[in-house]
Amino acid sequence: AGLFVCKSCGCVREYPKEPKHNNRFGKKCLNTRLEPVSLGHWFETDIVRIELPYCPSGIRVPGKDVRLSVLYAILDGAAQDLGISRSDISGCIDYEGSHPAIILFDEAAGGAGHVKKVFENFQKVLRTAMGRVDGSCGCSEETSCYGCLRNYGNQYEHDSLTRGGAYQYLHWLLNVSE
């Protein structure tokens, strides 16, 4: 929303007040009509928003993102436990509001019901997720590996992932919820 493009020269403006503009060579463009464009699309699918409680013991690993690590542990745990292809579900962290939340969503347009299965089996998924980050993969607590949290799709976040932080949080969460 808010981007306008000249179909003649390709000039892009955000909320143009003045439709007159120059082309990429610095010459005045004769076209004074800028067309509104959208660089995204609507993608309707099934989602579940999970507000995870704040851990009073304050699990922190310097330079790492524990919430992001928990997200990937849950996604991998759900795929393993429920027989869902890992490429069929994804997620993100919603930092809006008072408590950050994990949002899980089906990758299939219109939804495939995978996140509904995750929601219905959430306790079981959390146990499997905790098992993925229990240290049996052999990596150190401060980091992660392809045996616990890493995959090709999250390679740009590998440096932020912490197996130990995810394990501590999931262990605390499962003990609180029982």
Express each pLDDT in 41-86 by its tens digit: 777 888 999 988 887 667 777 788 889 999 999 999 999 999 999 9
Taking the model in full, what pTM does it have? 0.75
The SS3 call for residue 57 is coil
Helix axes 163-177, 66-82, angle to 10 degrees: 70
- Give me the mean pLDDT over the 137-143 stretch: 93
Please give the DSSP secondary-structure letter assigned to residue 114: H
Minimal CA–CA distance to 135: which of 162, 164, 157? 164
Binned at pLDDT 50, 70 and 90, residue 33 comes out as: confident
Q: Closest by alpha carbon to 137, among 101, 109, 162?
A: 162
Give phi and psi for 67, each to the nearest 5.
-60, -45
